[in-house]
Amino acid sequence: MGNNEYGQLGAEPSYFKEIPAKVEGAENIKAISCGSTHMLALGFDGTIYSWGDNRYGQLGLGFKGKHNDPTVTTVSGVKYVCAGKGFSLAITEAGKVKIWGINSKSQLGIEGESEVLFPEEILELKGVVELATKGNFVVARDDIGQVYTWGHYSGVDDDYPTKPVKVGELKYIKSVAATTGAGYAVDEKGEVLRWNRNISKVENVLFFEDDTDVSKNGTEKKTAHAGNGKTKASRS
């Protein structure tokens, strides 16, 4: 349900749905990712279905122009999908990263192409297990916990790095996330780390504990808030 200006609901454009409805044509789906105006759905068999806005080739179909019906892309053997702002990424079972769509701000991590209509591989990356994107930059984590980033506002001095850059000395990272102008990571100790324009300077996100509250079951509950102090997790 919601806005369907670009066919992102899997129906004819300008058709607004106020209640949930089944997307016909995408079956046996195990994961889904929402871009700004397009969608990716991952099947249990490693097939990617895409639909919606396709002005930059972000559906991976080999052509441009909005496409309302879920259609199988030209890449297979996939275990992870990530839809961005006019571009798409996928991780194959072999840990390789496939990219397609707009590349105006190096968000695809490759050089020399403003748009990619057929999925291509980022050759510098191997063993990737997780991707995150926000706006025009991307964060990737590999199977040994190293973190890479690229694209506009990726945290390097040059706003438009064309290839993945390793983030500082990060290692043993368990999860990554992206927001406008900053990247985040959770390490093996459960600490939250962040970086922005200077990827050699990775900072802890610090918290302090609020006053003790009592939950409904009578146990003490601590709430974590951003501030000064040492990192602490909520407990109840």
5-19, 133-147, 168-182, 201-215: the lowest-pLDDT one: 201-215
User: Smallest Cα–Cα separation from 106: which of 97, 119, 94, 115?
Assistant: 115
Mean pLDDT, rounded, for 188-209: 74
- pTM for the whole thing? 0.79
Domain range summary for the chain, segments of one domain joined by +: 29-205, 206-236
User: Smallest Cα–Cα separation from 174: which of 201, 126, 141?
Assistant: 141
CA dist., res. 208 & res. 106, Å (int)? 38
Per-residue pLDDT tens digits for 56-91: 999 999 999 878 889 899 899 999 999 999 999 999
DSSP string, 104-159: TTSTTS-SS-SEEEEEEE-TT--SEEEEEEETTEEEEEETTS-EEEEETTSSSSSS
Per-residue pLDDT tens digits for 124-154: 999 999 999 998 889 999 999 999 999 886 5
Per-residue pLDDT tens digits for 20-60: 677 777 889 999 999 988 999 999 999 999 998 999 999 99
User: Smallest Cα–Cα separation from 75: which of 19, 116, 131?
Assistant: 116
> Which residues are within 8 A (CB) of 226 and not within 5 positions of it... i.e. 6 or more apart?
205, 206, 207
Q: Are 76 and 83 in contact, with CB atoms under 8 Å apart?
A: no
Per-residue pLDDT tens digits for 219-233: 333 333 333 333 333
The residue among 189 and 159 whose pLDDT is bigger is 189
- Give residue 223's pLDDT: 31
Q: In what order do the strands lie in the sheet with 87-92?
A: 78-83, 87-92, 97-102, 115-121
- Give residue 214's pLDDT: 33
> Which residues are within 8 A (CB) of 88 and not within 5 positions of it... i.e. 6 or more apart?
35, 38, 40, 50, 58, 59, 60, 81, 82, 99, 100, 101
CA dist., res. 224 & res. 12, Å (int)? 45
Architecture of domain 29-205: 7 Propeller (2.130)
Instruction: For the chain, give the mean pLDDT.
Output: 80
Cα–Cα distance list, 26 to 33, 42, 69, 116, 193 (Å): 13, 9, 9, 24, 37
